[in-house]
Chains A and B, each alone.
Chain A
Amino acid sequence: MQTVQAVGTSVTRKDGIGKATGRAKYADDLSFPGMLHGRTIRSTIARGIVRKISFDSDPTGFTIVDHRDIPGRNIVDLIEQDQPFLVEREVRHMAEPLLLVAHEDPEKLLAASVAVEYEAQPPLLDAERSEGILKRIDIVKGDVESALASADVIVEGVYRTGHQEHVYIETNGVIAVPEDGGVAVYGSLQCPFYVIKALKCLLGANTHVRVIQTETGGGFGGKEEYPSMIAGHAALLALKSGRPVKIIYDRVEDMVATTKRHPSVVRHRTGVTRDGRIVAMDVDVLLDGGAYVTLSPVVLSRGCIHAAGAYRCENTRIVGRAVFTNTPPNGAFRGFGAPQTEFAVEVHIDRIAETLGMDPVTLREINALRPGDTTATGQRLREDTSARAVLDEAVRRTDFHRKREAYQGTNRAIGLSLFYHGAGFTGSGERQLNSRARLELTPTGVRIAVGSTEIGQGTRTMHAQIVADALGIPYETIEVAQPDTARVADSGPTVASRTCMVVGKILQECALDMRERLGRMSPEEYHGKYGAFSIERKYEPPEWIQWDDHTYRGDAYATFAWGCDVAELELDPETYEVRPIRLTAVQEFGRPIHPALAKGQIEGGTAQGLGYALLERVVMRDGAMANAQLTNYVIPTTLDTPELDVVMLENPYQDGPFGAKGLGELPMDGPAPAIVNALRHLGLDVREIPATPELIAQCSSR
């Protein structure tokens, strides 16, 4: 059977019309008979002991849940088992959940009065003063001290990044519905099987639990781990009341209580030769983990692995620490540690160039990773390494050298960053995940049944394209099941730029198996004659991947995607306001399955990076976000976002579906250092983001 190829073309996205007509149903759009509304009573201190909680309103019609109502374990089961669903005694951060209440009338619920007596203790809010190390990582290659001793020049620097709030436009929300003695949870979330794991621990392994992802209005990592918490809360209220319970956070609660990007402090000490070869890199990474472990160890891991940047260096030492503070736990956010460490190394590289009196492009040309080079973990790079290709194209396309010269002495500037991002879980992670995917033959075609979620990035569409072409049938005949843990295979979490490259690959293999079984018949013909069947397969990482979790040596990622961003901007000399003029993003991620979706990932990620660089400042006061509103936590609007010029280079990854690598996170890594390097071009020694006018004014007066 001959069909038009879907891969490589911008087919109509599966969820497009539902979204464009307003018919798509998000969590808050759903309602169930007899439904109650749930509310979380939270701590108003950052650290201390809860002495007494009293519900001061007329309790009629209220369902009230505290930690004693938990049938299983009071633990949000993730990497470590340290975070409770509800405080029993010890408060470790502001806005920590203490008590749950539900009522059918949202106004009565909001008016309910709960008094909490505490014995407050002084909180630890400064990560640099924390001695509570929750994870340490050491990456050692060669002999850094000797290499530093013999280097011509040593350049040192400290770089800082702040919190970043996800600002998915749909806040966190779930509905728990009693079902078969347990619960079904419908919600806005990225990882339905993470929620299942957490609910099993909370409610007892034998309790029936089912999780259904509703249309999700953005995630960016912010709906990776936190939905387990809110799902658990709604489930407890639903089990106690025997009625469906909806919990939807308002924007303030979502900003104050849920995760953010980890703030970082990264120190670099780099040895170079006079002619610009990097001979030693000594890097120290500190992340503020917040009050519980959550995902911080793996965020630190990815951050450290990317900390030496896209450069060749035979002597590298990276020491990473994630520490506890009495602030809400920081968590997954697009890039997962890499935007922090790549900001530091890329600003540092421009400072090295400045110290050597060398052009920043030339320094990068000399040191950029090539096929055959090894990374800090000793991973030997393969042919799909494109550091030079993206750099060369970005420099050429933007006429970088001429502009760099021409803008000298004006209030215009140009700067760039070179960066990379490993796709999939780190090291042995994909092997341990053991993800599965399933294809089902239906009377009209084929259904994809995976737990990978559509959160805007195009999961349904690109998976259907891959399956259609592998089967040789039209894209339109591929149906994608709503992620419902009772019905789909556990394809692992929708994180780590793995949904296309890893889950897409399993689906491609399922489709090839199915094609063999169908023989010359179409799905309809086969179904008519023999009935339904399904094919399920698990992910097999490339055999050559070797990784040692203890030494942090080996192949950290099956492949990397590469990017070079160029920022052109103007500075208002009176207000110190930065006006970006153009951001050029040249990125290589194997091959785009759907060019328009891929471009959307790059444009959107670049805009988030722009916000991270210039606008998005989380003000923490007494351990809580003080500007928890969109009025004064500002993300890029149309007027803040300049022209985004996107170039997609191809360099197929042999083990990816149709050559695809992971893309989702890459675009987040580059904009902030490119922008700050453009500020350096203006003579401003900025080493911190967000580079607000206040910060730039300080740098200017130095």
Chain B
Amino acid sequence: MQFTLNGSDVNVDAPPAARLLDVLRHECRLTGTKEGCGEGECGACTVLIDGDPVCSCLVPFSQVENAAVMTIEGLGDDHPLQHLFMNEVGAQCGICTPGMIMAALAIGNEPTIDDIKNALAGNLCRCTGYGAIYRAIFKWRQQRAVAGGKIDA
């Protein structure tokens, strides 16, 4: 089945009812997307489908035909939000971090604290109490505003 994965066109053979999460982790060998609950409650498996954050454990593979799927690996190693999660200690144990970052990518410009809380309400973190995650995201949006919206294209 054809879809776009992290910017490249791919053709992956997997059962249509397979969970997207499993296809990404096994067939595509991208293990950055994590499973935390398997029922869409924890958000650890969050990926972007056509720009929208979704829990990949709830998505049958057949639904991403011709869609654009973005996982944490699609950000490379040098995305400003990754550095900020690292420097603000938004990642402690790190298991929620890929999903958290993917969900955060969909946050609009100049967010309020409530905008961030609402955007991340489906992503559980048991380590941080979320404070460091907010600090990372606020700094990222500030950097982006300063750079005229160009640095996290």
A interface list, Cβ under 8 A from B: 10, 12-13, 15-26, 28-29, 166-171, 215-220, 250-251, 455-458, 596-597, 599-600, 603-608, 629-631, 635-639, 641, 644, 646
* Complex interface: chain A residues within 8 A of B35 (CB): 28
Which partner residue on chain B sits nearest A597 by CB separation?
A: B89
B interface: dominant SS? loop
Q: Say if the beta carbon of B121 comes within 8 Å of chain A.
A: yes
* Complex interface: chain B residues within 8 A of A600 (CB): 89, 92, 127-129, 131-132
| Complex contact A457–B41 (CB within 8 A) | no
| Complex contact B92–A604 (CB within 8 A) | yes
Contact of A603 with B131 at beta-carbon distance under 8 Å, contacts A19-B91, A20-B83, A22-B72 already known: yes
Contact of A644 with B129 at beta-carbon distance under 8 Å, contacts A26-B95, A218-B95, A596-B88 already known: yes
A457 to B127, CA, bound (A): 8
| Complex contact A216–B93 (CB within 8 A) | yes
**For window 26-49 of chain B, which residues contact chain A by CB distance below 8 Å?**
30-39, 41-42, 44
| Complex contact B116–A638 (CB within 8 A) | yes
Contact of A456 with B98 at beta-carbon distance under 8 Å, contacts A12-B86, A169-B44, A630-B39 already known: no
A459 to B87, CA, bound (A): 16
Q: Say if the beta carbon of B125 comes within 8 Å of chain A.
A: yes
| Complex contact A251–B36 (CB within 8 A) | yes
| Complex contact A606–B129 (CB within 8 A) | yes
Instruction: Kindly provide the distance from the CB of B22 to the nearest chain A CB, expressed in whole angstroms.
Output: 9
Q: Which of B32, B93, B124 contacts A22 (CB 8 A)?
A: B32
- By Cβ-Cβ distance, the 4 closest A-B pairs, closest first, are A22-B32, A19-B94, A217-B95, A456-B93
* Complex interface: chain B residues within 8 A of A168 (CB): 93, 95, 126
A32 to B48, CA, bound (A): 29
* Complex interface: chain A residues within 8 A of B72 (CB): 21-22
Q: Can you add 7 more A-B contacts, CB < 8 Å, to A10-B87, A607-B130?
A: A19-B97, A20-B91, A22-B31, A169-B42, A217-B93, A604-B126, A630-B42
A306 to B84, CA, bound (A): 39
| Complex contact A456–B132 (CB within 8 A) | no
* Complex interface: chain A residues within 8 A of B39 (CB): 251, 629-631
* Complex interface: chain B residues within 8 A of A26 (CB): 34, 95
A451 to B70, CA, bound (A): 37
Q: Say if the beta carbon of B56 comes within 8 Å of chain A.
A: no
* Complex interface: chain A residues within 8 A of B34 (CB): 26, 28, 169-170, 217
* Complex interface: chain B residues within 8 A of A604 (CB): 92, 126-129
* Complex interface: chain B residues within 8 A of A644 (CB): 129, 131
Instruction: Kindly provide the distance from the CB of A431 to the nearest chain B CB, expressed in whole angstroms.
Output: 31
Which partner residue on chain A sits nearest B97 by CB separation?
A: A19
Contact of A456 with B127 at beta-carbon distance under 8 Å, contacts A21-B32, A168-B93, A604-B92 already known: yes
A635 to B37, CA, bound (A): 13
Instruction: Kindly provide the distance from the CB of B36 to the nearest chain A CB, expressed in whole angstroms.
Output: 4
| Complex contact A16–B127 (CB within 8 A) | no
* Complex interface: chain A residues within 8 A of B123 (CB): 638
A608 to B38, CA, bound (A): 22
Instruction: Kindly provide the distance from the CB of A227 to the nearest chain B CB, expressed in whole angstroms.
Output: 15
A517 to B66, CA, bound (A): 64
* Complex interface: chain A residues within 8 A of B129 (CB): 600, 603-608, 636, 641, 644
Which partner residue on chain A sits nearest B26 by CB separation?
A: A31
A19 to B93, CA, bound (A): 8
* Complex interface: chain A residues within 8 A of B131 (CB): 599-600, 603, 644, 646
Q: Say if the beta carbon of B96 comes within 8 Å of chain A.
A: yes
A641 to B124, CA, bound (A): 11
Which partner residue on chain B sits nearest A636 by CB separation?
A: B129
| Complex contact B124–A15 (CB within 8 A) | no
Most A-side CB within 10 Å, residue of B89, B96, B129: B129
A606 to B31, CA, bound (A): 31
* Complex interface: chain B residues within 8 A of A458 (CB): 89, 92
| Complex contact B121–A16 (CB within 8 A) | no
A-B contact pairs, 29 of them (CB 8 A): A10-B87, A13-B91, A17-B82, A19-B91, A20-B91, A21-B82, A22-B97, A28-B31, A168-B126, A170-B34, A455-B93, A456-B94, A457-B92, A458-B89, A600-B131, A600-B132, A604-B127, A606-B129, A608-B129, A629-B39, A630-B37, A630-B41, A636-B129, A637-B121, A638-B120, A638-B121, A638-B123, A641-B129, A644-B129
Instruction: Kindly provide the distance from the CB of A188 to the nearest chain B CB, expressed in whole angstroms.
Output: 9
Q: Say if the beta carbon of B59 comes within 8 Å of chain A.
A: no
Q: Say if the beta carbon of B73 comes within 8 Å of chain A.
A: yes
A23 to B101, CA, bound (A): 14
Q: Say if the beta carbon of B118 comes within 8 Å of chain A.
A: yes
Q: Which of B25, B41, B86 contacts A19 (CB 8 A)?
A: B86
